[in-house]
Amino acid sequence: MSEIVVKQDSDPITADKKPADKNSVWIIVGVVLVILAVTAGIVVLAGQSSEITTKVRDIFIILLALEMFAIGTALIILIVQVAALTNLLQNEVKPILNSTTDTVNTLKGTVKFLSNNVSEPVIKLNQSLASLNRVLELLKLRK
């Protein structure tokens, strides 16, 4: 017969954290490298002529403009998505909630009706039978 070996981690929470820890370490290393590169660029540009520094400054201004364009586009997409979500909530979820509320109210009425017309008479009948049974026991007609 072949044996099946099942490997179980002693701590499943630790097993889930390992990939996240690696990703966070790489993110931190990336941020540190970017900061070091910017610092090195500033030091190198400090010793250069003003013409080179002006060209680099212009390139950074263009890159910032492109970044602002990308952020603006993302913001427009976000606004459109929020509008679509609002429309979904108003036109689809709200009617479902209203229908559910109506159903719950109908069930409340049904439960009250059944309680008044079925449960209470049965309880009163059982109560009367129990009191009759107790009276018969007291009169020693029944054990």
* pLDDT surpassing 80 at residue 90: yes
**pLDDT exceeds cutoff 70 at 49:** yes
CA distance 2 to 59: 66
**For the whole model, what pTM was predicted?**
0.46
Q: pLDDT, tens digit, for every residue of 61-85?
A: 999 999 999 999 999 999 999 999 9
Interhelix angle 12-46/50-88, rounded to 10 degrees, is 150
As a whole number, the mean pLDDT across the chain is 84
Residues 52/45, Cβ–Cβ less than 8 Å: yes
